Structure 1
Amino acid sequence: MNRAITYEPEERIFHIAGKTFSYILQIYREGYLAHIHWGRKIRSYNGTKGLRFMDRGFSPNPDPEDRTFSLDTLPQEYPAYGNTDFRVPAFRVEFPDGSTVTDLRYKGHAIFAGKKALEGLPALYAEEGDHVETLEVTMEDTLLPLRVVLSYTVFKDHDVLTRSARIVNGSGETLKLLDALSVNVDFRKDGFDMLQFSGAHIRERHLVRRSLEMGQTSIESRRGASSHQQNPFLVLVEKGTTETQGEAYGINLVYSGNFIGQAEVDQFHTTRVSMGINPFEFSWMLEPGEAFQTPEAVLAYSGEGLGALSRTLHKAYRQRLARGRFRDKERPVLVNNWEATYFDFDQEKIYEIAKMAASTGIELMVLDDGWFGKRDDDRRALGDWTVNGEKLQGGLDALARRVRDEGVQFGLWFEPEMVSEDSDLYRDHPDWCIHVPSRNRSTGRSQLVLDLTRKEVRENVVEQVRRILAGAPITYVKWDMNRHMTEVHSLSQPPDRQKETAHRYMLGLYEMMEVLTGEFPHILFESCSGGGGRFDPGMLHYMPQTWTSDDTDAVERLKIQYGTSMAYPAVSMGAHVSEVPNHQVHRTTSMKMRGDVAMAGNLGYELDITKSSEADLEAIREQVSFYKGIRGLVQFGDLYRLASPFEGNETAWMFVSEDKRAACVFWYKVLGAPQEPFRNLRLEGLEEGADYTVTASGGEMPPLRAGGDELMGVGIPLPMLEGDFKSCAFLLEAKA
């Protein structure tokens, strides 16, 4: 097996090689760790991108005898603050004397097969037979025994690189960590565009592309969660990069809390990009001998456009981020009662929904909010995870068994991180929420955030959830979180550690998820935060799918799902058909389009199926049957985006099997127009020499036969569908 990581001692060069990329570092001069190259793979590095310097005014010099060398112009791997580099640092620590100057130099390195787990944090993992190698570079301050261990792991089979840093206090004094980012890359050029994925609740992960100009461009969350507003993912692209051509550099943080991603173009037209825990309101007291582990960042490169970058991330996340028995298993078609009943239901209503669902082929009934405590609205009972006996007179176990007897699995909604002021838990433990004792406790959705930094709080919640899950045949859990953090303060921490609260919360949450998902491996967990407010790799490590957005409108979902797909695979996206007029935007779309949009993720329904017309019931039966036939393609195939909803009236994407013998294409048109032209849709990802049969699922056009080269070079003719909100699905099968 060829080594993926090599070290050339004479030149002091590290070369990390994926399938399509090279990542090269160099130990320069007296131990400075410099970044040489990240991009297109090269066989070997022979100095073509050697470091060059000149006397630059106002860039100070560490060595008074050499006015050409300055850290201000050195492309660094993990830049610190205060020692001649004025750009944004990745690392900053405050010493007992109040100074924040560090001088990290190379101390040693190790190269080994496999990958170490990150203590208490989600991360990509290696399995037996993987070609995975790790480089650890140890840097140490020149004054104090403060070490930073930079970790680089290449997953050669999956073509991604992961990075993180472990900061170790080897001194005898307590240090205060102020900045601890996970990744920094210094490009010796500018001219990039930056792609970010921004929005709001019910408008998540819209694609935003902007040119990087001189100065700093950033995305961040200060909400205690990765957030609806920004996603911990960014892509730098060369000008002109499209889905199918050009260079793209993606960075995604495996973390669910406060983060920052930033790009800085400096005076010399170089670009520094970095990502990690947001330094805003963050610090960490590092006692003698203690270490701080940063979250992991995933780096992916494509020289063939954004589509190839996405497919690289999708495969890595499906196979080496998600875990458990559902990782490689097709996900069930479900019906959720939320938009059907909200809080107004009883056990007979839920049973009737499940019974009707069974007649359509739906496989899972999910009981959403309102089944516990005295929960008749969203103002009370969070934290009281006991069955509401007035609604469910026979209890959860009896209801779940009745549902199961109809041939349908049973799932349940929780919001374990929250507490209502009107709850027994809050009345018994009013100090268990995150709050500042002397100040007002602001609420969101009439609820407060439980302080998961405290062991007793975590244990109480875990025990309540454990008791419910063990007491009924439950096979699915939707784990929700509907409030961001304010008044961030914990009674478990002394004053000088209060800025650790947000990160300690995440460590506590990850611990709870590790325990519960480990104890109930037969349960499919889906994460949620008002829909897509915590759609990030950290959550996908514990829960292999996420409710993509509370917005179920088919038109809005085109942009949401398109943007989400830039980093996250279709199998991670919960997507439901809901009632019309839609409850979020009050738009009326066809059952056909709603189904075609939802089938591009994990298909579900969120409507009162007992009140559906016979025509709608028949449409649901047809959709469920069709989806079960393509489910493996959608959930585990390669995704190709063909037309962007951010660029026009139409959207299209397709899923292709690994052997390229089968594919499914979805095409959507939002608004009708007069005198529309006849057009073809060019496909991608097929085998050029294979011949395919193309069939429209709804009979919108007669079947055709064509070669893969023709379908990609010329395309398939699109049907002329009159009116607004139209869609079509095409099945492709290669002839034997």
Structure 2
Amino acid sequence: MVIYSHKEEGLFHLQSKEMSYVLSINEGYPVHLYWGARLHDNQNLIDIVQDDEKYGLDRLPQEYPQYGTGDFRHPAYLVQLEDGTRVTEALYKGHRIFKGKSPLVGLPSVYTEKESEAETLEIELYDSYASLTIYLSYTIFHDRSVICRNTRFKNNGTESLRLWSALSASIDFPEGDSFESLYLSGAWAREGNIERRALSSGSTIIESRRGMSSHQLNPFMALVKPETNENRGEAYGFSLVYSGGFKIEAEVNSFQSVRLSLGINPFDFNWVLEVGSEFQTPESVMVFSQSGIGQMSRTYHSLYRERLCRGNFRDKERPILVNNWEATYFNFDEDKLHAIAEEGKEVGIELFVLDDGWFGKRDDDTTSLGDWSVDHRKLPNGLKHLGESINKKGMEFGLWVEPEMISPESNLYRENPDWCIHVEGRRRSEHRSQLVLDLTREDVREYLYSTLKDLFQSAPIRYVKWDMNRSLTEIGSANLSSENQAETAHRYVLGLYSLLERITSEFPDILFESCSSGGGRFDPGMLHYMPQTWTSDNTDAIERLKIQYGISLVYPISSIGAHVSTVPNHQVHRLTPLDIRGDVAMSGTFGYELDLTKLTNEEKQSVKEQVAAYKEIRPLIQYGDFYRLKSPFNENETSWMFVSKDQKEAIVFFFRVLAEPVPIRKRIKLNGLNRNWQYFIKEQNRSDYGDRLEQIGLDIPVMKGDFVSVIYSLKAKT
């Protein structure tokens, strides 16, 4: 049993192996009672809110608060009726409990493979005046400290309703002023910055208004106590499985409680709920950890890797690739590609990826998006011949596409100028000389599906890098009525998901990697269809320490694309040794983004050794438990480690950025080991017990120079 229902008390206790979540029905309102470490079911928790009842709704800790009836904090939803009023009062009508977890219609979500993995509570609320039904869904997993929440609206009346806001989840905590918020900020080429700041009276808001999840802020926030660190303290994580504009708000009121809610950004959102129709919100994945931020991250990692990602590549080791983008940009021919691939074969690389510039008349970024036919000037023998030639070298063949975009300078645009996102009579803002195709339209999606299907069948393609290089502007659709224009941004995301579902299902043997100018759409929604993401266009090893460290707060290492590039680096023009570039990139899904033909013999030998080394540790890197040891945001040093599920193997990475004037011997305290086992440290030719390595640390020798790194391999002597 995972969900206990106590009818007399109106109480629901959702219980997993290490966590409890408790709510009750108070005069028809779903009220939050407790979320934290596991409790026995026989404890009386109703009295938690008794003192709050006499103060009315403005103090009641609610599960899905409404607008207009006395609660002056931000609501979870806002509905306008045909008479123009915006007051609702949806009260408890019933509930059901069932094993397993239902998929969301049209939206990605976490799933179960067996019904026994989880149980779901669905609470039905009803507003009799508006004839509006609201279904609150809670899924709790037996062996994971995870609750998945979503909300569904149904119009049972005789008049249409208008949703101005429809968030996925809301929760009220006491002691709001004692929490800190933890989230990820950034920009193009500097994604994944960890922000941490105390909550105070008023609201802390992170959001995207860009029609995509964005480089600037990721759809994730955690609430932590000031004393919480990587290994100790409570952490409450909130992650939204959505790839469009989002909003997460933590509001501290005058009674020092905090309301955290998340979902589709209400900004520029308005949805007409027709008679008899339903609206489904995206899924919110809520994680509790009583053992620090690191345990919260590992819970997200395993859940997203095993029960969000899907398909043939979910559990497969990801191939080592070489991508020609930074090697050639648009300036290549078939001979140049063969030369890079030949060098790749010699050093043991498994996949060659042809990036932008292979189609239309694409000699720069001003033309041809939408014209997905091969440029025979560059590839006179076509894609099939190139792919088969790559295969003969013992490598798989991959391809870059940007299907959601259209260039004004293209045949597709000349033939269908209304196929882009636009507002009639307004200018069409071009970013990177391109516009966005209107995926709310079935004819556009059908064109893309048939075009991509033909393309992917035309050559032996086993990897696709799916890019998206701009945000949405002039958000409108020629295919929607005036009443429905504010639905465009969300309908775009739904259209994208529909297309991805068809394409990825049609081609299960293709490994799809998501990209949006790097990490502009690194979110759980995309991971449902594409199990890895190009983390950042910034390939500098030192910048990548922060980027990859930050992204690991939520996302599994198997999803983090990381490549070795040339020096001086093309983004920051820094010179770094090949060793540290390799060690940083090996801490993700590994590859190269440089011209292998220009390497010296010594460098080629180093690359060959890196490739061989990664093949040895790849299962541990991509599917082991990840522990952050030292933060690049706080120190001159960074360290992290990977531990196998059975704790018999581990690998430790240590990086130092700048040399120190008086170098001293360092120790790094490890984590995740079996304290009672001895571990043989290959690079030091000695053994230590797990408890010593955790409490005293692993000895790091004196390191000379800037930009240095070292790797240690540990094996248990059991």
- So what's the TM-score if we normalise by structure 1? 0.96
Task: Establish whether residue 205 from structure 1 lines up as the match of residue 202 from structure 2.
Answer: no
In structure 2, C-alpha distance between the alignment counterparts of 1:48 and 1:6, rounded to whole Å: 13
Provide the rounded CA distance (Å) in 2 between the counterparts of 1:730 and 1:422: 52
Match of 2:662 among 662, 671, 675: 675
Q: Secondary structure at the match of 1:50?
A: helix
Counterpart residue number, 1:286: 273
2:685 to 695, 703, 713: 703
What secondary structure is seen at the aligned counterpart in 2 of 1:546?
Answer: strand
Deviations 1:616-636 (A, max 9, x none): 111111111011100000100
How far off its partner does 1:158 sit?
3.0
Query: Residues 36-51 of structure 1 correspond to what in structure 2 (within 5 A)?
Result: 36-44=33-41, 46-48=43-45, 50-51=47-48
Partner residue of 1:19 out of 17, 22, 27: 17
Q: Give the CA deviation at 1:352.
A: 1.1
How far apart, in 2, do the equivalents of 1:242 and 1:212 lie?
17
Structure-1 residue corresponding to 2:620: 633
Q: Which amino acid is the alignment partner of residue 10 of structure 2?
A: R
**For 2:630 and 2:305, how far apart are their aligned partners in 1?**
24
In structure 2, the partner of 1:734 is 716
Secondary structure at the aligned position of 2:461 is classed as: coil
The answer for the alignment partner of 1:501 in structure 2 is: 488
Q: Match for 1:542 among 525, 529, 548?
A: 529
Match of 2:90 in 1: 104
The whole-number CA distance in structure 2 between the counterparts of 1:608 and 1:130 is 50
Alignment partners' CA distance in 2, 1:102 and 1:677: 66
Residue equivalent to 1:32: 29
Equivalent residue for 2:296?
Answer: 309
1:218 to 202, 205, 217: 205
Return the offset for 1:128: 2.4
Question: Does 1:125 find its partner at 2:111?
Answer: yes
In 1, distance between residues paired with 2:233 and 2:51?
A: 32
Q: How far apart are the structure 1 equivalents of 2:605 and 2:144?
A: 42
* Partners of 1:220 and 1:48 in 2: CA distance: 34
Give a deviation string over 1:14-62, Cα, whole Å, max 9, x none: 0011222111110112x1110001111111253346244569xxxxxxx
Query: Using the alignment, how far apart are the partners of 2:296 and 2:194 within structure 1?
Result: 15
- The whole-number CA distance in structure 1 between the counterparts of 2:447 and 2:518 is 25
In structure 1, distance between residues paired with 2:55 and 2:89? 15
Alpha-carbon distance between aligned partners in 1 of 2:578 and 2:493, rounded to the nearest angstrom: 40
Three-state SS of the structure 1 residue aligned to 2:191 is strand
Taking the TM superposition and a 5 Å limit, the aligned residue runs for 1:590-605 are 590-605=577-592
After the TM superposition, which segments of 4 or more aligned residues of structure 1 sit over 6 Å from their partners? Answer: none
How far did 1:646 drift?
0.8
Partner SS for 2:414: helix
Distance 2:153 2:192 in 1: 32
Match of 1:660 in 2: 647
Q: 1:576-595: per-residue Cα shift (whole Å, max 9, x none)?
A: 00000000000011100000
Contact 1:206 1:560 (C-alpha < 8 Å) held by counterparts: yes
Q: Which whole-Å deviations, capped at 9, do the CAs of 1:659-679 have from their partners, x for residues lacking one?
A: 000001101001111112222
1:254-296 CA distances to partner (integer Å, 9 max, x unpaired)?
Answer: 0000000110000000000010000000010000110000000
Deviation, structure 1 residue 689: 1.2
1:475 aligns to 2:462 (yes or no): yes
Contact persistence 2:145–2:289 (CA under 8 A): no
Structure 1 residues not aligned, in runs of 5+: 56-65, 697-701
**Is the Cα–Cα contact under 8 Å of residues 158 and 315 in structure 1 kept in the other structure?**
no
Q: Aligned residue for 1:335?
A: 322
- 59, 62, 67: which one aligns with 1:81: 67
CA distance in 2, matches of 1:251, 1:20: 18
Q: 1:157, CA displacement in angstroms?
A: 2.5
SS at match of 1:208: strand
Q: Secondary structure at the match of 1:24?
A: strand
Opposite residue 40 of structure 1, the aligned amino acid is: A
Closer, same or farther in 2 for the Cα pair 1:112/1:54, shift >3 Å? closer
Amino acid at match of 1:128: K
Report the AA paired with residue 714 of structure 2.
Answer: L
The amino acid across from 2:58 in the alignment is: D
Q: Secondary structure at the match of 2:62?
A: coil
Q: Tell me, in whole angstroms, the C-alpha distance in 1 between the residues paired with 2:377 and 2:48.
A: 73
3-state SS of paired residue (1:475): strand
Deviations, residues 108-129 of structure 1 (Å, cap 9, x unaligned): 0000001111000000011026
1:173 matched residue in structure 2:
159
- Give the letter aligned to residue 157 of structure 1: D
Q: How far 1:505 sits from its partner (Å)?
A: 0.2
| Displacement after TM superposition at 1:508 (Å) | 0.3
Report the Cα distance in structure 1 between the residues aligned to 2:643 and 2:160, rounded to whole angstroms: 55
Superposition map of 1:122-271 within 5 A: 122-128=108-114, 130-190=116-176, 191-271=178-258
Task: Tell me the CA shift for residue 465 of structure 1.
Answer: 1.1
Residues of 2 paired with 1:244 and 1:720: CA distance? 27
The answer to whether residue 552 in structure 2 is matched with residue 552 in structure 1 is no
Percentage of matched positions with identical amino acids:
53
8 Å contact from structure 2 (residues 663, 703) kept in 1? no
SS in 2 for 1:203: coil
Q: 1:403 is matched with which residue?
A: 390
Deviations 1:678-712 (A, max 9, x none): 2211100001111111123xxxxx32211111111
- Cross-structure match for 1:429: 416
Quick check: 46-55 or 173-182, which moved more?
A: 46-55
Which stretch of the first structure deviates more once superposed, 543-552 or 346-355? 346-355
The separation in 1 between residues aligned to 2:256 and 2:50, in whole angstroms, is: 14
Q: Which amino acid aligns with 1:539?
A: M
Query: Is the CA contact 1:21–1:42 (under 8 Å) kept in the aligned structure 2?
Result: yes
Distance in 1 (alpha carbons) for counterparts of 2:327 and 2:224:
43
Superposed CA RMSD in Å reads 1.0
In 1, Cα distance between the equivalents of 2:685 and 2:207?
A: 49
Partner of 1:9: 7
User: Partner of 1:558: helix, strand, or coil?
Assistant: helix
Q: Provide the residue aligned with 1:60 in structure 2.
A: none
Partners of 2:39 and 2:285 lie apart in 1 by: 21
Q: Which amino acid aligns with 1:187?
A: F
- The residue aligned with 1:59 is none
Post-superposition offset of 1:347: 1.1
Q: How does 1:362-377 map to 2 (within 5 A)?
A: 362-377=349-364
For 2:227 and 2:143, the matched residues in 1 are separated by 29
Q: Report the residue type matching 1:728 in the other structure.
A: V
Give 1:113's aligned residue: 99
Q: Match of 1:230, as an amino acid?
A: L
Per the TM alignment, residue 159 of structure 1 is displaced from its structure 2 partner at its CA by: 2.8
8 A contact 1:53–1:69 mirrored in 2: no
TM-fit CA distance, 1:160: 1.2
Residue identity matched to 2:12: F
**Residues 197, 563 of structure 1: 8 Å contact kept:** yes
Given candidates 387, 397, 405, the residue that maps to 1:418 is 405
2:182/2:197 contact within 8 Å kept: yes
**Paired position in structure 1 for 2:474:** 487
Counterpart AA for 1:679: K
Number of equivalenced pairs: 717
Which residue type is aligned with residue 297 of structure 1? Answer: S
Matches within 5 A, 1:447-466: 447-466=434-453
| Structure 1 position 130, deviation (Å) | 4.1
**Structure 2, gaps ≥5 residues long:** none
The equivalences for 1:555-574 within 5 A come to 555-574=542-561
Q: Aligned partners of 1:447, 1:563: CA distance in 2, in Å?
A: 30
Q: Hey, what's the Cα distance between the residues in 2 that align with 1:327 and 1:658? A: 17
